Structure 1
Amino acid sequence: MNPMLLRRRSKVILSAGRERQPLEVVATLQKNLDALGFQMSPSLCERVATLSLTQVEAFYKRLIRALREMLGAHRNYAPLYPDFPAQMMRASDAERYWNAYLHYRGQLDRVGEATPRPPRQDVPNWRVLELGTQDEVDALFVALAAARTPYSPEDSADVRWYVAQHRERALSLLPETLPCKENLAVVVAALLADEGTADSRVLALGRHVRTATDVLRIAVALDDGDVSLATPTRFGRYRRPMRRALLNWLEKMPNRLEDLQRWTPRWVRLAERLHPGEHAMRFPGTAADFARLRAGQRLRGFNAQVECALADDDVGTALAVLRARPGELARRLDALARRSHNVQDVVDTFAQVAASVSTPVLLQVMTHFQHRAAPRGLRVFLPKGQVGKLYAIPDRLVPLDADLCAALALCCEQALLARFAALPPLGASYIDPALSRYLVPFSQRSASKALRTLVRGSRVPLSDANTLRMFCWWRNGKSRVDIDLSAAIYGEDVQYIDTVAYYNLATFGAHHSGDIVDAPQGASEFIDIDIDHCRERGIRWIVMCLSSFSGQAYCDLPECFAGWMARTAPDSGEIYEPGTVVDRFDLASDTTFCLPIAFDLVERQALWLDIGLTSTPRFAVNVANNLAGVSLMLRAMSSLPKTTLHTLFDLHVRARGHRVSAPDQAATVFAVDRGITPTDLPRISAEFL
């Protein structure tokens, strides 16, 4: 079973057999898949029918195991109240209190016994399994290698898995350029990771390594560190061939000393592993630069020149220096426009170099200036790193003239249209209006592994189900682990109303399944949200919160995941019905408090957050002590001005296609449920950014 293709495309690779099974065999297999909400396509059914019974059984076991793990159905769910939610609804406040009291004293594991439940009445959230090919797996790897935005942890794992399985094929499939430096490090490190690293492979990869910082990132990737360089990495020992390869690349780099100075502490630590002095005869320039670095000799580098010019309000000199690095100029446009006495010089200089700025940066700058002139309550920052952090501060920027903002945004738009026009034509193209709710994947560095990977800030429509059932499952590590599932409740203007949590099990049409404080064999908690009841009480927002009450970071747990289901008959079927799971995501960040998702009950949309709060209070790690952060994150993410997929695809169609009003009239379809979809993140990053 190819996990990469199954998870990303809902496809399986299955070789044709030489037999012909009766209809009963295929029907039985499909009946068993029904409970998980999966249907086999006609082509897959036809292929299964050609297998022998032994092959069908082996295929079914591999498939069902993989699908159950994807949905979270591979674990046993036993909440404190085994007849949740009806049992919780019947219990009085006194009964809930007393049951919790006994549970915390270790005198009660479960409240009563589970009673037979009626058969499931919910309609599954159907997903179709298609027949796939090895060529599609190869295409996924090529798209990941050509991506122009940093990998998520899941992307990195898939690249490493593919390279481990198909090392020489991966080398031959590499595109001419690996545009994202962080991704380059992951790919190169994966190709060099085996014990028998060949000189020919090092030589072939050398054309992709162009700066000293590339070499540093590769060394970090070899030690499974943070290739964004946001956090330091503890370097391990390298074999002599690996040391020679890294030093050989360094020797060929221009501006080597300036690059070394940008990350001096990291290079000093890495030099302890590379031993450049031992190879001074072979790599004299590198050895000399490391000696200067240790001696504290410094050059007045590029950034120092820019900062000195800005400190003196000499915008003209700053522009002259920044012209050499258009991407850096684009990132500093706002600061230059605020300081300049002749803003037309800023516009003209940027217009001259905009064609050399990368597509992701142009899109972000365009969106920034499209919203810059209007007053905003908050400025929102999503810093790089391996934890999904978000900073929101009051917007106190000096206002900019609307015409200036429009001119800078137009420079970006014209450069993008000219660039896209040089790409192959799209022909008749359809763009789904719903894509305006999905954001462009500029960076997925800290994105959680999920059933369907989306970009933070994207909005997904809710089904017609009247109950949202959140769930989490975890297991103890080296000590007792207590994970708390909670929901913060807000009104129309994001005013706080109440919380459903272990200390408040029922409120405003929401019910908690009970707090479990120890999970030696695994534990689970649930929260049901009755949408209609909440709307009648003036509730708009429900924010899903997960806190590690016992204080362990999620990355230190052996297993912890969460998600939500859409239920129409919550008392039917099992408490955990995998066929109704809409999203399931792993919790593995280096934090103790996570906000995975928020539900907008008015618009009937799920707002994808995937944020970890890194600062925790002095006392209990629970939602009550983090409400200020929860409220701020909700305000920031619900009003986030970011580039949408609709905007990106519209620019492509304007440049190299023409719009049509229906998907069946189009040669190229951009839509939520067909063609190029919001979950095709590697392809979007490789082909459209």
Structure 2
Amino acid sequence: MKTIALNRLNILGIAKGNGLSQAHQLTFLAELAQLGYRITNPEILQEVSSTFLMDYKHLMSTLTKKRGGDVTYVPLFKKFPEQVPNDAVYFSKRIIGYIGNILDLFPDTVALENGIKVPKWLFNLKEFGADPISQMQSKELFDLAAAENISKNGDAHVEWINLRIVHDEDLADELKAYLARLVYSKSSIKEALHEDLYELLDFFGANDLDSDLIVFKETKALLMQYFWKKEEYQAVAQLAKTATDVLRLFAALTGSDVSLNQKIKFPKLPRKARKVVLAILEKSSGLAEDLNKYKGLWLEIGRYLHPFEYSKQYPRTAEVFDALRNGKIETYHSKTEQLLALAEVDALLKHLENKPGVYARKLHEVLRRFPKELDKILASFEKNIAKVALKNLLVMQAYFSEINEAAYRTVVNKKGKMKVLTNNAFAALSELQIDKVMLCIQKAIKTALTDKEPWNEETVWIDPELMNYTIPLQQRKSSDGILTVGKGSRIKTDFSKVLRLFIYWKQTAVRTDLDLSCIQFDEYFNYLGHVSYTQLFSNGIVHSGDVQSAPYGAAEFIDITMSKLKKKVRYLAVQVHKYSGEHFRDMDCHAGWMLRDKATSDIKTFDIKTVANKFDLNGVGGYAVPLMVDIAAQEIISTDLYVSSVQFHNNVEGSVNDVALLCAQLANFTKTRPVIGTLAQAHAAARNAQLTTYKENASITFGVKDCTYNATDVEQILTELI
């Protein structure tokens, strides 16, 4: 539990006691500072038990791992960034080395354990952290470089992370509140948090949770799995409302995808469990529609459920399975398309009113097809708009506000992949249509927020920076790391520092070669150049060298000095290519960025206290685009994308056009997606709060950090504000 509190809440739980001695306090604070952490309430150290020192090793290990300092980083070129060899000269020397090894031409060599013989006159091995000829890792060179790096001084700059001490008796309340935020979230939570959720449920149980507040279907599935394994079937039945809920339960039980975006497995069910499932199906709303949506899977499941054997107890379920088997089910979707094709407006609107969520998704198409029926359509839509989830209203508001101006539309699917679609002229709506739709949506948003607790006596401060943070509505496939923000969010960064990008990976079964790269674009996303393993230099950018295997854990770095970039460069797109080997998610693999005062080879290559963000690379794809840099705005843009490509040999040259298109859309996400700043303003207005321009005068604050509501407190935003 204390590890979860440290990793997720930056809370350090310590038992009450007589306090630490002054010497112990100073030592503890100094060792935290070396890792880039500081305590916001150090006075409480006078009230804690010294027994926490027994867990001191685990504490420091957890904090070290949080920032990526638990592994060893060894670049190919040990004198990076000042002494990186010329590409052409270095490549020529490698060719000589290859030929010499094949023909056994070299008499005076150093033999490495990988079988390569390196001539002393060709390469000075003291300058390399891996074999300079094959660029494969060598244990001897790795260990030597690691030992040398330990002895180096650290950078003067510190990217501080604040920790708060809480007494053990209060820690339980903090963790229970965190559990509630996970469970009551109005949107998907990161898959990386599922383990936390189960550990918290095992520790605290679920008796204090309100099942009526658990609204997100995937989260329901995780809760149902918890109850199912405890054979608390009544609790499962209380949560499961539809046949699709049952499928999500099956997915959770078998470790499949609870979003149902990929093929799922279903468990073997004993007789008692089969009857539980059939009872849920019997009372499910929209049973025929839901079964038909996953027809092949339900036909297969039906052979194990034996619904006809229990037809007397569950007659409706048996009847629907019979219709499913004989193809006699008319779906809601097919009926919708039929009414659209026949242009039967009145019947169509009445039909859509039965499913407000579908109506919201179809509204644009209905308006486009029947422009003369604007008032009738909006009157119909407003009948059930209160049933449309607030998050969907916010998305609609952002969507309709820009639909006529956008040349493209972007869709992020359940896999975390982004598709860019051409927004053709047929998608345009009239200004009158848009104005009336926007008024309708804004009214619904205000109504939804008015139902929350009023802030009549509260004064609210909203940081203008929150207009640069998108609402984190799609967290399912988000990378787990220090900073979690919505895709397309813009993080203000001190560009007077050297920005050092890094990646680390350690292969498990086969040789794996990942490549850290950086593409330069102008303000219109025209290609201006790149830095990668094929080109180690560009103005203001330098690469640490290409390591092509990772049995001991490989690392690559790119240093970016903003003041030295070409004047035309506006954006930098960071990529990690899978050239060969294992997928990102199948090994220990993470990346991030540091901010450095002094980027020289006599300073630690990886200095933990300078790490601004470290995040796991856990997706599947030919390459990842984890972040962008906007030079003019001095902001890092969170992209967190995995892009499908060829299975092997991915590189910058083969992806420039696709990356340009994707990044051009992501650079505009704060204009095309709902942002936290607008949400905060809507809350303040609807809940009747008084706004102030001074943070110190506010009783409720919205900001990036150290506020009542922070841009990085994703679960709180998704639970309390959505």
Q: TM-score range by the shorter chain?
A: over 0.9
Which one of the candidate residues 520, 543, 556 is aligned to 1:525?
Answer: 556
Moved more, 66-75 or 268-277: 268-277
Q: 1:189 to 1:101 in 2, by over 3 A?
A: farther
Q: 1:462 to 1:322 in 2, by over 3 A?
A: same
Residues 254-289 of structure 1, C-alpha deviations (whole Å, 9 max, x = no match): 332222111112222333454445544543433443
How many Å separate the matches in 2 of 1:551 and 1:156?
A: 27
Moved more, 264-273 or 538-547: 264-273
Q: 1:64 matched to which residue of 2? A: 60
Q: 1:15 matched to which residue of 2? A: 15
Q: 1:183 to 1:102 in 2, by over 3 A?
A: farther
How many Å separate the matches in 2 of 1:98 and 1:248?
A: 72
The CA deviation at 1:110 is 4.8
CA contact under 8 A between 2:224 and 2:235: conserved in structure 1?
no
How many Å separate the matches in 1 of 2:225 and 2:712?
A: 26
1:322 maps to 2:352: yes
How many Å separate the matches in 1 of 2:23 and 2:71?
A: 29
Q: 1:60 to 1:98 in 2, by over 3 A?
A: farther
Which one of the candidate residues 574, 596, 608 is aligned to 1:544?
Answer: 574
Q: 1:415 to 1:514 in 2, by over 3 A?
A: same
Q: 1:153 matched to which residue of 2? A: 191
How many Å separate the matches in 2 of 1:618 and 1:447?
A: 22
CA contact under 8 A between 1:22 and 1:49: conserved in structure 2?
no
1:3 maps to 2:33: no
1:41 maps to 2:36: no
Q: 1:573 matched to which residue of 2? A: 603
Which one of the candidate residues 157, 165, 174 is aligned to 1:123?
Answer: 157
- What is the aligned-residue RMSD (CA, Å)? 2.2
Q: Give the secondary structure class of the aligned counterpart of 1:207.
A: helix
Residues 450-502 of structure 1, C-alpha deviations (whole Å, 9 max, x = no match): 11111101110112443111111111121111111111111222110111111
Q: Give the secondary structure class of the aligned counterpart of 1:27.
A: helix
1:450-489 counterparts in 2 under 5 A?
450-489=481-520
The CA deviation at 1:20 is 4.1
CA contact under 8 A between 2:495 and 2:562: conserved in structure 1?
no
State the AA in 2 paired with 1:157: E
Structure 1 alignment gaps of length 5 or more: none
Structure 2 alignment gaps of length 5 or more: 102-113, 119-129, 133-140
Q: 1:644 matched to which residue of 2? A: 675
How many Å separate the matches in 1 of 2:673 and 2:234?
A: 41
Identity of aligned residues (%): 26
How many Å separate the matches in 2 of 1:429 and 1:618?
A: 51
How many Å separate the matches in 2 of 1:605 and 1:119?
A: 29
Q: 1:233 matched to which residue of 2? A: 264
Q: 1:594 matched to which residue of 2? A: 624
Residues 326-351 of structure 1, C-alpha deviations (whole Å, 9 max, x = no match): 12111111100110032221122222
Q: 1:202 matched to which residue of 2? A: 233
Q: 2:636 matched to which residue of 1? A: 606
Q: Give the secondary structure class of the aligned counterpart of 1:368.
A: helix
Q: 1:240 to 1:579 in 2, by over 3 A?
A: farther
Q: 1:476 to 1:619 in 2, by over 3 A?
A: closer
Moved more, 246-255 or 140-149: 246-255
The CA deviation at 1:208 is 2.4
How many Å separate the matches in 2 of 1:234 and 1:208?
A: 21
How many Å separate the matches in 2 of 1:310 and 1:192?
A: 42
CA contact under 8 A between 2:460 and 2:691: conserved in structure 1?
yes
Q: Give the secondary structure class of the aligned counterpart of 1:515.
A: coil
How many Å separate the matches in 2 of 1:175 and 1:390?
A: 33
Moved more, 26-35 or 95-104: 95-104
CA contact under 8 A between 2:356 and 2:385: conserved in structure 1?
yes
CA contact under 8 A between 2:10 and 2:163: conserved in structure 1?
yes
1:687 maps to 2:691: no
State the AA in 2 paired with 1:378: Y
CA contact under 8 A between 2:510 and 2:581: conserved in structure 1?
no
Q: 1:239 to 1:477 in 2, by over 3 A?
A: farther
Q: 1:604 to 1:136 in 2, by over 3 A?
A: same
Q: 1:671 matched to which residue of 2? A: 703
How many Å separate the matches in 2 of 1:589 and 1:24?
A: 46
How many Å separate the matches in 1 of 2:327 and 2:248?
A: 23
Q: 1:350 to 1:289 in 2, by over 3 A?
A: closer
Q: 1:180 matched to which residue of 2? A: 216
Which one of the candidate residues 66, 75, 78 is aligned to 2:74?
Answer: 78
Q: 1:110 to 1:122 in 2, by over 3 A?
A: farther
How many Å separate the matches in 1 of 2:347 and 2:403?
A: 25
Q: Give the secondary structure class of the aligned counterpart of 1:454.
A: coil
Q: 1:96 matched to which residue of 2? A: 90
CA contact under 8 A between 2:489 and 2:638: conserved in structure 1?
yes
Q: Give the secondary structure class of the aligned counterpart of 2:655.
A: helix
How many Å separate the matches in 2 of 1:596 and 1:635?
A: 14
The CA deviation at 1:100 is 5.2
1:633 maps to 2:667: no
How many Å separate the matches in 1 of 2:482 and 2:269?
A: 36
CA contact under 8 A between 1:71 and 1:451: conserved in structure 2?
yes
Q: TM-score if structure 1 supplies the norm length?
A: 0.92
Q: Give the secondary structure class of the aligned counterpart of 1:215.
A: helix
State the AA in 1 paired with 2:36: G
Q: 2:24 matched to which residue of 1? A: 25
How many Å separate the matches in 2 of 1:79 and 1:255?
A: 58
Q: Give the secondary structure class of the aligned counterpart of 1:661.
A: coil
State the AA in 1 paired with 2:195: A
1:408 maps to 2:437: yes
How many Å separate the matches in 2 of 1:328 and 1:509?
A: 50
How many Å separate the matches in 1 of 2:93 and 2:73?
A: 19
Which one of the candidate residues 690, 715, 719 is aligned to 1:658?
Answer: 690
Q: 1:621 matched to which residue of 2? A: 650
How many Å separate the matches in 2 of 1:464 and 1:537?
A: 15
State the AA in 2 paired with 1:675: T
How many Å separate the matches in 2 of 1:102 and 1:665?
A: 70
How many Å separate the matches in 2 of 1:467 and 1:272?
A: 62
Residues 70-120 of structure 1, C-alpha deviations (whole Å, 9 max, x = no match): 1111001111112221222xx334443256558988636256875677632
CA contact under 8 A between 1:182 and 1:227: conserved in structure 2?
yes
The CA deviation at 1:361 is 1.1
1:142 maps to 2:172: no
State the AA in 2 paired with 1:539: V
The CA deviation at 1:362 is 1.0
Q: 1:675 to 1:240 in 2, by over 3 A?
A: same
Q: 1:51 matched to which residue of 2? A: 49
How many Å separate the matches in 2 of 1:330 and 1:155?
A: 30
The CA deviation at 1:439 is 0.6
Q: 1:15 to 1:162 in 2, by over 3 A?
A: same
How many Å separate the matches in 2 of 1:455 and 1:241?
A: 43
1:273-292 counterparts in 2 under 5 A?
273-277=304-308, 279-280=310-311, 282-292=313-323
The CA deviation at 1:220 is 1.3
Q: Give the secondary structure class of the aligned counterpart of 1:336.
A: helix
1:417 maps to 2:450: no
Q: Give the secondary structure class of the aligned counterpart of 1:259.
A: helix
Q: Give the secondary structure class of the aligned counterpart of 2:461.
A: strand
Moved more, 210-219 or 270-279: 270-279
The CA deviation at 1:138 is 0.4
Q: Which has the larger radius of gyration?
A: 2
How many Å separate the matches in 1 of 2:97 and 2:519?
A: 24
How many Å separate the matches in 2 of 1:163 and 1:562?
A: 31
1:514 maps to 2:559: no
State the AA in 1 paired with 2:674: T
State the AA in 2 paired with 1:391: K
Q: 2:389 matched to which residue of 1? A: 358
How many Å separate the matches in 2 of 1:400 and 1:475?
A: 52
Q: Give the secondary structure class of the aligned counterpart of 2:568.
A: coil
How many Å separate the matches in 1 of 2:238 and 2:535?
A: 60
How many Å separate the matches in 2 of 1:101 and 1:76?
A: 29
Moved more, 599-608 or 414-423: 414-423
How many Å separate the matches in 2 of 1:525 and 1:671?
A: 34
